[in-house]
Amino acid sequence: MGRMSVGVARRRGRGAPLIEVDRVSKTFGTPGEPVPVLDGVSLVVHPGEIVALLGKSGSGKSTLLRCVAGLIEPSEGAVRYQGARLTGPNPGTAMVFQSFALLPWLTVRQNVELGLEARLVPPPERRARAEAAIDLIGLDGFEDAYPKELSGGMRQRVGLARALVVHPDVLLMDEPFSALDVLTAENLRGELLELWGSDEFPIKAIVLVTHNIDEAVTLADRVLILGSKPGRIIAELPIDLPRPRDRHQIEFETTVERIYAEMAGQGTATAGAGPSGLVTPASAPLPNASVDALSGFAEILAASGPTHLGETASDLGLDVRDLLPLVDALVMLGFVTLGRDGQVDLTAEGMEFAGAQIQVSKQIFARAALERAPLVRLIANALEKAPTRTLRRGFFADILRRSFAEEELERQLDVANDWGRYSEQFAYDADHDEFVADPDRTAVLAGGGAR
Ligand code: ADP
Ligand code: MG
């Protein structure tokens, strides 16, 4: 692609830094009600390395990446590209998005050329560079297709070509594989690594955002773990495994377990109080776990006695990461304690919940959720005060929108609905777009410690 080879530079941490993130903090919200998302984050990206930013949903990964891209301005601290402090879009980066972000009315070629138009590259050069990027990424033959005619994998190839065509030094990738099915994602990861190892690839470094531990360990030379609420870097570790990496290797598994241990207990449940000292729906979001799943898991724990999360997972033929939201939910509800080493213990209340008849379980769950799941408490309390015992979904969505991106907001309300329904406190009526208090709700009073 008309650029000199950087193949020789593919050794970690060599040369002057390309990107420096220097004590960056970012706060959204209003001055009266600030929502701190990043808190004093520093990181450096050198030529020749793939850096993964790993964190749970809502930990601020996308926000951090947008700061690096110069798309949003840090509230405090600075981002530098080749030593120069950014005052607008970062000239050395291009972004690949989870959602592909293609314009549906443009063809593949036009979508790829788009980035160059913005940079005022003249048409003949645009054409040539787009062609080269399309070739490199395996899209030849699809130049005149429209996005809707392409599979997800092909669409993300267009996303990648559109980023490469501007010849950025640093490729920024925000969960680029998470919208793809498992096999397609695996395939694209392999292709990315092949390109990265080839001399034609005009990129000096990659910053990859992901919530997938396997993906980070497969791709990265270095993993930075972002803790939640507000996001700060809680651990950093080099991944020295030889390539190509095999996830069945014992070293691979050990690395994954180590990262998992760092991330466990960093969850929503232990995030606790927000800046004002209050536990709120924003400072303690609901883990993505249905009551069916978490009560099934509680029953398994009751049967097994105190156990190690890794053991339980392998007994069930599951990956330890599949259990993470369930554990977070049980910790939030006070049904389980989680040790730093991954030891899980049911509390007395958790025992009772797991062993009781369904009606009693429901009451235990209702009490715990109203007391410890802030969003469930908020909805129940608000409905209690509403004359008709109903409130429009938009009422809650507006409140949550101050702290959550749209997709996460939907998930929060879905989980709250599931928890509220099971505990017979309230339910969401999709026909009328409103939350409705359960007329037979038990006399458990929410909030204020009154019971
Ligand atoms: P991640 O990518 O790790 O899932 P994000 O960076 O998207 O996390 O978001 C981190 C937190 O900041 C979330 O709680 C999110 O809802 C909030 N947030 C992100 N962007 C905005 C914004 N423009 N306004 C208000 N809150 C936001
Ligand atoms: Mg994100």
Q: What is the pLDDT of residue 4?
A: 37
120 C-alpha to ligand 2 centroid (Å): 30
Q: What is the pLDDT of residue 16?
A: 93
Tokens of 241: 């495994």
Question: Which ligand 1 atom is the nearest neighbour of the CA of 61?
Answer: 3
Q: What is the pLDDT of residue 322?
A: 79
Q: Is 280 in the pocket of ligand 1 (CB under 6 A)?
A: no
Q: Is 403 in the pocket of ligand 1 (CB under 6 A)?
A: yes
Has this prediction a pTM greater than 0.95? no
Q: What is the pLDDT of residue 442?
A: 62
| Angstrom distance (rounded) from CA 110 to CA 93 | 20
Q: Is 61 in the pocket of ligand 1 (CB under 6 A)?
A: yes
Q: What is the pLDDT of residue 318?
A: 79
Q: What is the pLDDT of residue 451?
A: 34
Q: What is the pLDDT of residue 273?
A: 47
**What's the chain's length in residues?**
451
Instruction: Specify whether the CB–CB gap between 145 and 107 falls below 8 A.
Output: yes
Nearest protein CA to atom 26 of ligand 1, as residue: 403
Q: Is 58 in the pocket of ligand 1 (CB under 6 A)?
A: yes
Q: What is the pLDDT of residue 47?
A: 96
Sites in the chain below the pLDDT cut of 50: 1-9, 267-277, 444-451
| Angstrom distance (rounded) from CA 325 to CA 202 | 39
Q: What is the pLDDT of residue 317?
A: 80
Q: Is 274 in the pocket of ligand 1 (CB under 6 A)?
A: no
